[in-house]
Structure 1
Amino acid sequence: MTPEESDALVHDPQGGMPRLIEIMRRLRDPDTGCPWDIEQDFASIAPYTIEEAYEVADAIEREAWGELEGELGDLLLQTVYHSQMGSEAGLFDFHSVANAIADKMVARHPHVFGDESRDKSAEQQTRDWEAIKATERARKAAHGVLDDVALALPALTRAVKLQKRAARVGFDWPEIGQVVEKIVEEAHELAEAREKMTETEVFEEFGDMLFVMANLARHLGIEPEDALRSANAKFTRRFIAVEAELRAKGKRPEDSDLAEMDALWDKVKAAEKAV
């Protein structure tokens, strides 16, 4: 592509993916690109990739449809960024990335793109999907049951994925009641740890309890990250309402005490439930 053709594409408002790919190539050009972009590598960009994925999820959760287009664009830019760095290193490029995911989707949906029947339940489809993924892992020589569960996942999400993998080979409690009993056991151990154990041991016991809580969420069919985000939103909403109640009295939280704020919290909670 000549410099003139590159400029024309970069400034073409209808240039689509070729435009975005060319913009990133220009940003990373070692002679004429952006100094900050040139300095980046996979590791330094990875945190931005994670952040952008969360911002997409946040826009969806808030139903901020006017923002979603921009957030998806920000996330797409991350794929283009990593693809450009891959191209520079001779590893892969955007087109090979796109082809790889397309190949994977076709292979994992033989009931749509192949000759398998579409007459199957969602549960059967999930089992088939997991079987195909297991075959793919075997081809990659991933021999351990827990191999390739990404380390960078949010801890609760990774806990559920680890537990799902273990459950496939029968390492799982068959009844929810057994999980609840384990939570009670871990809670007692944590209470004892607080009184008798070192800070490191308390840390470990707390982690064990969270891990079992994630297991309970899995047995209940709940995504723990979603449940915790919902609880965070509820706490934020109610605390803001408590602050509003205090402002109506000419006070701030720091001018109040626990008893007063607790009473206001109960009032806000009751008002929410009455709606």
Structure 2
Amino acid sequence: MTQTPNRDPIFEVPEGIEQLLEIMKRLRDPETGCPWDIEQDFASIAPFSIEEAYEVEDAIKRGDMTDLQSELGDLLFQSVFQSQIAADKGLFDFQDVAKTIAAKMIDRHPHVFGDQSNQKSPEQQTIDWEVQKAAERDRRGETRVLDGVALGLPALMRAQKLQKRAARVGFDWPDVTHVIDKIVEESAELVEARDSKTPEDVFEEYGDLLFVMVNLGRHMGIETEEALRAANEKFVRRFNAVEDKLKEQNRSPSDSNLAEMDALWDEAKGLDKQGKL
């Protein structure tokens, strides 16, 4: 008689969030869990959380809903993972996280869950949202204007948020012309640093120029991170076209030269502008 193998109790846990929480708990079990999962901490997992958020955005941009479902699961798992690390340390657990965000959403939407009118424009709701967040920062003791802008944000995104915060209290150029003048000034300082100063000075001036470029985007209503991401994709698209042209000749970019590739680039640029790449 063939003996049926013992079925793991994990399969008896209701599918969905309950099973996911139990899986995470098992993975972190110091005696029977996964060695890799056991040794992780908040800091080591944080980069994966950021990566998963970007993969969610990528799936959305590609319009791949099957992939989006999968990537949202991966992102949820990051929250579950961090919550389990906290639970292991006796700090809080996933239920505490869920309760906190639920309370925050109720508090920030009095026009939905309270007695305020919901007959507001999106612009007014944005203003109200910022007022709510400012009150929350005040309760946390974040009294400085720039307190609470996350250090872990991508640098361009953080620069834009810092500038928006400063602009709310009047620390801002009055128009785009002043920003462009500042770009000219910072460009000249970068050239001067390159010609006569130290590598550290060049590094600093380059950072200043990037920071002002972000400010230009903000004044023009452009999300800097999105604009640079689009420029990255455009570069990939056009360079791939150059590479494909060379491949037709059984050659690669390393077999070519700058003048030839530049000519192919101009050709690819023309095709791209016509929507043919």
Q: Which residue is equivalent to 2:161?
A: 161
Q: For residues 196 and 136 of structure 1, what CA distance do their matches in structure 2 show?
A: 48
How far did residue 63 of structure 1 move? 2.2
How far did residue 272 of structure 1 move? 1.9
Cα distance, 1:274–1:36 mapped onto 2, change above 3 Å: closer
Cα distance, 1:170–1:18 mapped onto 2, change above 3 Å: same
Establish whether residue 140 from structure 1 lines up as the match of residue 130 from structure 2. Answer: no
How far did residue 50 of structure 1 move? 1.2
Residues 209-231 of structure 1 show CA distances to partners (whole Å, capped at 9, x for unaligned) of 10011111111121111111111
Q: For residues 94 and 157 of structure 2, what CA distance do their matches in structure 1 show?
A: 28
SS in 2 for 1:11: helix
Q: For residues 188 and 23 of structure 1, what CA distance do their matches in structure 2 show?
A: 57
Q: Which amino acid aligns with 1:23?
A: I
Q: For residues 273 and 182 of structure 2, what CA distance do their matches in structure 1 show?
A: 31
How far did residue 250 of structure 1 move? 2.6
Q: Which amino acid aligns with 2:197?
A: M
How far did residue 268 of structure 1 move? 1.0
Q: Which amino acid aligns with 2:82?
A: H
Q: Which residue is equivalent to 2:34?
A: 34
Q: Which residue is equivalent to 2:73?
A: 73
How far did residue 249 of structure 1 move? 2.3
Q: Which deviates further from its counterpart, 31-40 or 72-81?
A: 31-40
Establish whether residue 213 from structure 1 lines up as the match of residue 222 from structure 2. Answer: no
Cα distance, 1:58–1:12 mapped onto 2, change above 3 Å: farther
How far did residue 41 of structure 1 move? 1.1
Q: Which residue is equivalent to 1:239?
A: 239
Q: Kindly, what percent of the aligned residue pairs are identical?
A: 62
Q: Which deviates further from its counterpart, 79-88 or 200-209?
A: 79-88
Q: Which amino acid aligns with 1:176?
A: V
SS in 1 for 2:157: helix
Q: Which residue is equivalent to 1:259?
A: 259
Q: Which residue is equivalent to 2:125?
A: 125
Residues 140-171 of structure 1 show CA distances to partners (whole Å, capped at 9, x for unaligned) of 11111111111111000110111111111111
How far did residue 274 of structure 1 move? 2.5
Q: Which residue is equivalent to 2:4?
A: none
Q: Which amino acid aligns with 2:74?
A: D
Residues 92-125 of structure 1 show CA distances to partners (whole Å, capped at 9, x for unaligned) of 1111101111111111111111111222222111
Q: Which residue is equivalent to 1:269?
A: 269
TM-score by length of 1: 0.94
Q: For residues 250 and 210 of structure 1, what CA distance do their matches in structure 2 show?
A: 40
Q: For residues 271 and 191 of structure 1, what CA distance do their matches in structure 2 show?
A: 35
Q: Which amino acid aligns with 1:217?
A: G
Q: Which deviates further from its counterpart, 108-117 or 16-25?
A: 108-117
* 1:11-160 paired onto structure 2 within 5 Å: 11=11, 15-160=15-160
Q: Which amino acid aligns with 1:89?
A: K
TM-score by length of 2: 0.93
* 1:174-253 paired onto structure 2 within 5 Å: 174-253=174-253
Q: Which deviates further from its counterpart, 247-256 or 179-188?
A: 247-256
Q: For residues 71 and 12 of structure 1, what CA distance do their matches in structure 2 show?
A: 25
Q: Which deviates further from its counterpart, 197-206 or 250-259?
A: 250-259
Residues 34-69 of structure 1 show CA distances to partners (whole Å, capped at 9, x for unaligned) of 122111111111111111111112222222222111
Runs of 4+ off more than 6 Å: none
Q: For residues 165 and 274 of structure 1, what CA distance do their matches in structure 2 show?
A: 40
Q: For residues 32 and 110 of structure 1, what CA distance do their matches in structure 2 show?
A: 46
Q: Which deviates further from its counterpart, 82-91 or 15-24?
A: 82-91
Q: Which amino acid aligns with 1:178?
A: H
Residues 64-105 of structure 1 show CA distances to partners (whole Å, capped at 9, x for unaligned) of 222111111111111001111111212111111011111111
How far did residue 14 of structure 1 move? 5.7
Q: For residues 249 and 35 of structure 1, what CA distance do their matches in structure 2 show?
A: 51
5+ residue gaps, structure 1, are 1-5
Q: Which deviates further from its counterpart, 243-252 or 136-145?
A: 243-252
Q: CA RMSD in A?
A: 1.5
